[in-house]
Every structure is written in C-alpha cells, then in structure tokens.
Amino acid sequence: MTLTVSADPPAERQFTRLLPALADITYGISLPLALLLAWGFSSRFGWLPEQILPAPDVVWTTVVELSRDGSLAEHTLQSLRRVAIGFAIGATLGLVAGAALGLLPRVRAFICPVFTAIAQVNMLAWLPLLVLYVGIDEELKYVSIAWSTTIPVILATTRSIADVSPKLVELGRVLDFTPLQRVSTIVLPAALPSLFTGLREGLAAAWQNLVIVELFASFEGLGYLMTWGRQLFQLELVIVAMLVIAAIGLLLNTTLQYLERFVQPWKTEDAHGR
C-alpha cells in the first residue's frame, strides 16, 4: 500500500504566509478609519462647530491648494532638513557618549547622576538660554533638535551596554578576544535592540522638538505653518501640518524598524522558527 502525501499548492502556501501580515494591516488601519468616520459624521451632523474642527473635505481642499502652489512641499522640506541635520548630530553624539558611559563604569558613576538630573529639564526651559548663546537663526533649531535627540539615545545606549550579561563578556575573555572583538562580537549584538529603541525615541523627540522650536522662532517649516494657521484662525492649516508631521514621523519610525530587522537577521529567523 502506497501512502501519498499531498502538498499544499504554492499559491495556497503563499497566501497562508500573507495572512498574518494582512491581519496586522487590517488591525493597523481600523482605528484611523474609525476616527475618520467619526470626524466625517461630526462635521456632517454639526456635533462640533467648524471653528473647532473643520470638515474633512475642507482639510483635503487645503492640502490640494497647498500642494499646487508648492508651499506645503517647501515647508515640509525645510522641516525635514532641520530634523535630518539635528538628528544626525544628536544621534552620533548620543551613541558615542552612551557607548563611553556604558563601557566605562567609573565614568558612568561620575557623570550619570548629573546627566540624569539635566535630562529631567524640558527642552522649553533650555530655549531662553540657547537663544542667548546661539541666537534665533537656524543654529537654534539644529542645537535644540540635536539636544532633544541626544538625551534618549545616550540613556538607551548606556543602559543597553551596561546591561550586557557579564557572563558573555567573561566568555570573550576566556576565548582571548581583544577588547575591540569583545565589543563588536558580544556587546554590540546584545545591545542592538535597545540601541534602536533609543534611536526611535530620539527621532520622535526630534520631531516633537521641531514643532516647538519652529513655533518659537521660525518663518518657514511645518511648525510655522501651524502658527500661521492659528493666527489666521484657519484650523485646517493646523490640521494639515499635524497630519504631515504624523505621517512623516510614522514613515521614519517604520524605516528604522525595518533597518533594525536588516541588521539583526537572527531575530527574523527566530520569529519564523516559532
């Protein structure tokens, strides 16, 4: 008697693999769709005045008009340039300083209490002092964005390196690894998840601080667009700027998540193996 094992067709297997991704996408868009529907019903039935919450079609018309005259792209690119420069500076400084604090316990014990206390002060409290030192031009934007980025990156980097298991470090010594080999082979792979968490938090802080600093002193950018809309009592401009900031922030965060998976292929393999 011959037993025949029937294999699933390739198309069916591919569809089965796509089901979890489709489910995640469905869950991900369900809440935004529900909020959009609630927004539409609120506008249609007059639950909230248009002065408080403009109708979705008014916001969409504003998006189209700002896109046609190029002002939306101009403000967005200006804000992106500021965030890119500030985040690059802050992330670099944060990774270097965090690595030094994580790898050198005595330095960490000496600096961390003061740094932790400084980190508790909100960026808004530092702005008057920064204005005195760097003025209100572009340097203020770069410095404030870099500072807001540096803090979460330093904290996450320090914590991730300091929390690496001493047994793993001792294993490197037993295997006669050099200090550089121990860092690159043992410490860095173990610390990568927390490092990327710190980078994502730093990027979110950079976007939030961008709006603050552009509200404070700027004549272009998405934060300025929000200020201009508030002064003109055109809340649709404010909502458009908020939507663009949220969409770009989500896109950048998703990019960092995919980059994290790329540099940590073992995590993807473990997920597939479960």
pLDDT tens digits along 120-167: 888 778 888 888 888 778 888 898 899 989 988 998 888 888 877 777
Please report whether residue 4 resides in a domain: no
Residue 35 has pLDDT above 70, yes or no: yes
Q: Which one has a higher pLDDT value, 239 or 29? A: 239
The whole-angstrom separation of Cα 8 and Cα 5 is: 10
Higher pLDDT, 28 or 75: 75
CATH at residue 156: 1.10.3720.10
| pLDDT score of 16 | 66
In a domain, 35, yes or no: no
In a domain, 3, yes or no: no
The pTM for the full model equals 0.76
Q: Looking at residue 274, what is its pLDDT?
A: 46
Residue 34 lies in a domain: no
Amino acid at 177: F
Domain limits for position 116: 68-269
Name the domain count of the chain.
Answer: 1
What would the pLDDT profile of 179-237 be if each residue is shown by its tens digit? Answer: 777 777 777 777 777 788 888 888 888 888 888 888 777 788 888 888 888 888 888 88
Pick from 156, 141, 115: which is nearest to 256 by CA?
A: 156
Residue 247 lies in a domain: yes
What are the pLDDT digits (tens) for 74-118? Answer: 999 998 999 999 999 999 999 898 888 888 888 888 888 888 888
The structure tokens listed for 211 are 């709006």
Residue 45 lies in a domain: no
Q: Indicate whether 191 belongs to any domain.
A: yes
Chain centre distance of CA 196: 10
Instruction: With beta carbons less than 8 A apart as the criterion, state whether 137 and 225 touch.
Output: no
* Residue located via tokens 């690119």: 77
Quick check: is 172 in a domain? yes
Taking alpha carbons only, the member of 201, 214, 199 closest to residue 127 is 214
Instruction: Say which residue the tokens 């204005």 belong to.
Output: 131
Collect contacts of 71-76 with beta carbons under 8 A, ≥24 apart.
72/225, 72/240, 72/244, 74/220, 75/220, 75/221, 75/222, 75/224, 75/225, 75/241, 76/222, 76/244, 76/248
DSSP H/E element including 257? helix 235-263
